[in-house]
Amino acid sequence: MCFFAVQIIYGIIGTAVLGLTITSLALDSWTQISDKDYSGLLCPSTVIEDAIKNHKSVFEECHFDFSQFMNISPYQQAILIAIILAIVAEVCCLTYNFFTACACCCKTILLPILFGLSVIATILLAIAVGVFLKENPNRMAEIEKFEREIGKHDVNDLLGMGNSFIFAACALAGAVINTLVSLVAWCCAATLI
């Protein structure tokens, strides 16, 4: 029965990872340029800045349609594709986790697939975060500064990392943890036979 408890933990963490991933895509604020200025993948920073100045919702001003997909840079396309595929993989993981939790037999055969799906979701999130960091090399210096300065300053004083990037990085960390949890569930099921 330890695998059932581990699968419940997997479902809780997986739901959080899915929420973080969807939020990183929905916010579309990957780079923070100033206290109130963000730049996203599908919405230019000027539109976001005008919305903030005019006290309007960014979601109303930025029309998040995928007709702009061909107009964005290749690295932004790669991030967008990886995030969308990661969302699909995470939904598959959660659905499959529920299916295997309800199954009363064959868990040793079913749980390796959950581990594989978790690895795929983790790889896709790693691609999105990695491509963003590769195309924005100064972000690593900002992350190191953030780690050094976190106790000394207000978080709003540390500019550069947008909310979408932070959510995607947290989703990646959660996906790695969930991959390990799925491995533990698989090992628990294997020891019961």
pLDDT in tens, 43-57: 655 666 676 677 766
Determine the pLDDT at residue 157.
Answer: 45
Looking at 3.40.50, 2.60.120, 1.10.1060, 1.20.140, the CATH number of the domain 2-191 comes to 1.20.140
Beta strands across the sheet bearing 37-39: 37-39, 31-34, 160-161
Tokens of 154: 């207000």
> Is 106 exposed, middle or buried, given 0-12, 13-18 or 19+ CB atoms closer than 10 A?
exposed
Residue 9 — very low, low, confident or very high, per pLDDT cuts 50/70/90? very high
What single-letter amino acid sits at 6?
V
Contact 172, 126 (CB under 8 A): yes
Average pLDDT score over residue span 122-142: 81
Residue range 58-78: mean pLDDT, rounded = 70
What are the DSSP calls for 107-166, one per residue? HHHHHHHHHHHHHHHHHHHHHHHHHHHHH-THHHHHHHHHHHHTTTS-GGGS-EE-HHHH
Please provide the average confidence, as pLDDT, over all residues in the chain: 77
pLDDT digits (tens, 9 = 90+) for 70-126: 777 788 888 889 999 999 999 999 999 888 888 767 777 888 898 999 999 999 999
Q: What is the C-alpha radius of gyration for the chain, rounded to an integer number of angstroms?
A: 19
Q: What is the pLDDT of residue 127?
A: 95
Percent of the chain beyond pLDDT 70?
A: 64
Cα dihedral 149, 155, 156, 159 sign: positive
Q: Which residues of 18-50 are buried (b: 16+ CB within 10 A; e: fewer)?
A: bebbbbbbebbbbbbeeeebbbbbbbebebbbe
